[in-house]
Amino acid sequence: MKNISQDEKEYLQGEGEASNDKIVLDLSGNNWQMEGIRPDEGVKIGFHELNFDITGDSFNWGFAKVPGDVYTDLWRQGRIEDPHFGRNSLKAKWVPENEWWYKRQFDVPKEMEGKRIQLVFDGVDFGCDVWLNGELLGTHEGMFSQFKFDVSNTIRFERLRFGTNVLMVRLHPAPRRYSQVAGRKPAWHGDYWVALPPTGIWKPVYLEAMGQVTIEDTYVKPSVLSENSAKLDIEVELNNHNSSNNNVQVNVEIEGENFESKIYTVNKETNVAPGTNKLEVSIDIDDAKLWWPWDLGDQNLYTAKVTVSENNESVLDTTSTSFGIREVEMVHNPGFTLDEVENPWTVMINGKRHFMRSGTWGGPPDIFMGRAHPSKYIELIRLAKEANFNNLRIFGWHPEEIPLFYQLCNEAGITVWQDVLPLASLSLPKDQEFKDAVFAEAISSVKAQRNHPSIVLLEGSEELFMTASDPQHNLQFVNELGEAIKPYTSLNFIPSSPLSDEVGLNLGFKPKESFHANDLFYGEGEFVMEDYFPSLDYAVIPELAISSCPNIESIKKFIPADEVWPPGPSWGHHWADFDALRTLNFEVVGDQSTDSLESFVTATQIAQGAIFQYALEHFRTRKPRTSAICICHYITFAPDMKWGIVDYYQEKKLSFDYVKKAYQPVLLTMKHYDRRWLPGEDFKGELWVVNDYYETYNNCKATIKFLDNNKNAIKEEEFDFAEINGDSSSKYIDVTCKVPGKIGDKFYAEMTLTDAEGNVLSENDYMMLVADKTKDRAELRAIGLEAFEIKQKYGWANYFRYFPGLGAEEGHLEADSKMPIARGFDKE
C-alpha cells in the first residue's frame, strides 16, 4: 500500500510509474477553509457549487484544520475567545446556531487513474452533507461510524496550482438535545462541562484507490492452546463492486509487530459474488507470544496483512491489522452466591486473574478535538502507567476513542473497560428509527475496535436506570443492544453501571453486583471514609468520585487574574463545589483551609488523595471477592475544579501520588478503622499485603515507623513475612502505637516491604489526626447540612449560590462592577 500526502514532491509533480499498489491520499491537514452561515442558507447561495475556477468566492473564508473542530478553528482565527478561559464558553453559544462549511481543494496523483477511488471519512461530529466537484455524494449522521463514497467518476485528473478537485462538507448545526442523538454522540454537558456541543470533522479524511474487490474488515479471533501455541481464526469481509462474480486470491500473512517472529502465510482462492462476501481462514501459531496486561506479562503484538489479488499478480486491495494473542474469560467472584451476584465480574486473561486497578478516562484529552494533540494522548497514557493503573474505563459520558488511544494501551499493557456507545443518564427515545440507528452505530464501533487486545470488557451504558423516567424501557434497550453486538465480539457485555442501586434492585438486578461509591462526596458530611467504604460489599466498584482543585499554576491559565483569589464566578463556571471541597478538607486535614489560595488548593488535593488511597486499599484487600475498583476520574476533557488526579494541562495533582501508592501491584497496606484519635489512646491497625503479580515472595520483611506531629519517630517495628503468595490478599499482623501530641496535631505511619534480597517491594504512608472524633463529626455534619440547605434553596447546579454579588441571595446584588467573591472566602 502506498500512502501519499500532498506535501510530497512526487505527488505535486504528478508523474509516476503505473502501480498495482493500493494508493491512499491523505486529505487531512491545514489546507482546509471554513465558513459559517445560518441553517439551510449555504445551499441557497451555492456554497456547494464552489469550483476550482472561482476560488475568489472563498478568499474570505477562514483557514481550518482536519481532523479538528469548529470551535478550535474559530479560536485560531480570532472569531471567538478561548472557550476554556473564564466564562468565554458562554459567549460562544452562537456557534451551534449555524451550519459550518468546510472546503478542501486538491489534485490527485496520476497513479490513481483507472482504479476504483473512494472518499473515506473516518468520523464526523455529528451530521453532514458531502459534495465533490458540485456533485452531492450523500448525507451521514453518527459520530462514530466511518462512511465512504465511490468517486471514481467524479474525480478530476487535470492539474492546477491549487487543485482541480473541490470537496465541500456541510456540517449540520450541532445537536442541542442529547436524548435525540445519544449513542451516536456523547453528552456535552455534565458536572464538569455545561456550555457547548462539540462539532467538526474529528477524524481523518482520505482517498483510497484500489481494484474492484476491496477488503472491508479483518477480524482475528485467537484461541490460546498452550503457553506457546495458538490458533487464529481470521474472518475477512470482501466487497465485490462488480456486477458479476470474480475469482480472486486472498493472501493472509501473520508476523510479529514489535518482536521478531517467523512469518505465517495462508493463501486461498475464492469466487466472490457482487456485494459483501465473508471468507474464513485458520492459522496455527506454534511459537505464539501472548499479549498480557503490563503487570502480568509482555505486550506482544502481531500484524495480519491481507492482500486480495486477481490472476495472482494484479493487487486489488491490501490492509494491515494489529492484534494480540490473548483470551479473555469472565468468571464469578468467589464469596458471593448467584442470588447476590449473577454476572461474572472477574476478568481472566490467558487464565490469570486481572484485578482491574482502574480510572475513568474522562477524555479525550480535550472536548475540542482540534486541541487533542497526539502528544497529549502519549503523555496521559504514560502517566496512567506511572500511577500503576492497569485499566482505563471509558464510560457512557464519553466517546469511544481514536485508534491512537487503543494502540497506546495495547503497547502499554493497559486494558480498557468500555461502554459500547455513549449512553448515560437519560430517558431513551422509544421509536424504532432511533433504536436502529444506535444499533448500527454500535456494530460499526465494535467492528472497528475488536482486534485491540487491550479491550477486555464491554458495558451498555452509564447510570442509565438511575434517573430515567422509564428505566424498564432503558433496560430493554440496552439488553437488545447487547444482543445486537453479540455476533461481532466475544467479549462479555454488562447492561449498565451501577446495577445494585435502588433502581437496579427494582429492575431485578442482584444486590451485590456493582455500586457507585460516591455517597461520601455527595453526602455533604453525612459519612466519613473509615465508616463508609468498609460498609460496601460489592463485586465491583465502577465509580468512586472525589473532587479537588488543579494546581495553582494551572488555575491561573484558565481563571482570570482578578478571580483567582478570592474565588470569582469563573471558579463556579468550572464546577468548583466550594461546600463539598470545604467538607472534604475538614474531614481529611481537620480544617476547611479557606484562608489562602495555596492552603485551599493543597488541602483539596490531599483530601482527594487520602480518600482515594483509603478506599482503593480497602477494596483491594477484598480481592478476589471484589475484582475491580475505578476512581472517577483519572482525567477530564476541560479545565475544571472537580475531578481528575491529572489536570487538563497534564499536570499531576498531589492526589496522583496517593493513587500511585494505593495501586502498587504489590501493596503493603495498613487497615485502620479510625483516622481521629485522642492523645494517649492506643492507635490500632492491621498490616495486609496485596499481591497482583503471580510471583510468590519468600522471607520478606515489613517495617513500620510511627512519627509525631514534627515527623520525629516515636516507635519502629520490623516483622518477618515468611511467604507472600502470588495473586493474593492476606492479613499478616496487628500494629499499635500510643497516640502522641495534643488535639490539633497530626501523626504519621511510614511502611516498607522488602524481599529476601532487600529489594523494596512496596512503600506506603498515612496521616492521622489527633482529634476528638465525636466533636469533629458533629462539626463535619454541620458544614454539610449548611451546604445542603444552600443547594436546596438555590439549586444543586447553580453556582450563583456561592456569589451574593451575582444576585443569588436577595438584596445582595452589587450595584458597582466590583467582582463578586465566593461566600466564606477571605482575601489573603
Q: What is the DSSP string of 682-721?
A: EEEEEEEEEE-SS--EEEEEEEEEEE-TTS-EEEEEEEEE
Q: What pLDDT sits at residue 6?
A: 42
pLDDT of residue 787: 83
Residues written for the chain: 828
Distances (CA, A) of 616 to 487, 566, 660, 752: 36, 33, 10, 18
The pLDDT of residue 10 is 34
Domains 213-323 and 668-773 equal at CATH topology level: yes
Tell me the chain's radius of gyration from C-alpha atoms.
Answer: 29
Give the separation between CA 203 and CA 184, rounded to whole angstroms: 15
- Chain position carrying cell 451504558: 461
User: What whole-number distance in Å separates Cα of residue 796 and Cα of residue 818?
Assistant: 26
Three-state secondary structure call for residue 515:
strand
Q: How far apart are CA 626 and CA 345, in angstroms?
A: 9
Q: Per-residue pLDDT tens for 290-303?
A: 999 999 999 999 99
Helices (H), 55-126: 70-77, 88-91
Instruction: Name the pTM for this structure.
Output: 0.95
Q: How many CB atoms lie within 10 A of CB 692?
A: 25
Q: In the prediction, which pLDDT does 821 show?
A: 65
CA distance 417 to 443: 17
Give me the phi and psi of 584, to 5 degrees please: -65, -40
Q: What is the DSSP letter of 373?
A: -
What pLDDT shows up at residue 813? 38
Cα distances from 593 to residues 172, 407, 600, 605, 710, in angstroms, run 48, 43, 5, 12, 20
Contacts 24+ apart (CB under 8 A), 45-49: 47/101, 47/168, 47/170, 48/129, 48/131, 48/134, 48/136, 48/168, 48/170, 49/134
121: which 3 cell numbers?
471519512
- Non-local (6+) Cβ contacts of 570 within 8 A are 86, 87, 558, 559, 560, 563
CATH topology of domain 213-323: Immunoglobulin-like (2.60.40)
Nearest to 537, CA basis, from 267, 731, 335: 335
Q: What is the per-residue pLDDT across 684-718, written as a single tens digit (0 to 9) for each?
A: 999 999 999 999 999 999 999 999 999 999 999 99
The domain 2-210: what is its CATH number?
Answer: 2.60.120.260
- Exposure string for 225-237, b = 16+ CB within 10 A, e = fewer: eeeeebebebebe
Low-confidence ranges of the chain (pLDDT < 70): 1-20, 54-55, 807-821, 826-828
Supply the DSSP string of 134-153, one letter for each residue.
TEEEEEEE-SS--EEEE-TT
pLDDT attached to residue 59: 86
CATH ID of 328-663, from 3.20.20.80, 3.20.20.10, 3.40.47.10, 3.30.360.10 = 3.20.20.80
Instruction: State the burial class of residue 760 (Cβ atoms within 10 Å of its Cβ: 0-12, 13-18, 19+).
Output: exposed
Is 668-773 in CATH node 2.60.40.10? yes
**8 Å CB contact between 682 and 736:** yes
Residue spans per domain, the chain? 2-210, 213-323, 328-663, 668-773
